[in-house]
Amino acid sequence: MAVTVERVKCACSDCVCVIEVKEGIERDGHIYCSDACADHHKSGAGCQHVGCMCHG
């Protein structure tokens, strides 16, 4: 039996976002919710999603 994953938690450890796999940003084999998370918050910016306070 095959299982298809459609939603995952953002790979950023501080982020609480759950995103559609097909809409996420893939970097280094991980799925992120935003460029800020995918870039490991190099500029200090958060993902800007409501309810999430991540900044890396």
pTM listed for this prediction = 0.88
Please say if the pLDDT value at position 56 is more than 80: no
Tell me the pLDDT tens digit for each residue of 6-50. 999 999 999 999 999 999 999 999 999 999 999 999 989 999 999
What are the residue boundaries of the structural domains of the chain, listed by start? 1-56
Please state whether 55 falls in left (phi above 0), alpha (psi between -120 and 50) or beta.
alpha
Residue type, 40: H
Q: Which residue has the higher pLDDT, 41 or 55?
A: 41
Query: Quick one: fold of 1-56?
Result: Ribosomal Protein L24e; Chain: T; (2.30.170)
In order, the DSSP letters of 10-30 are -SSTT---EEEGGGSEEETTE
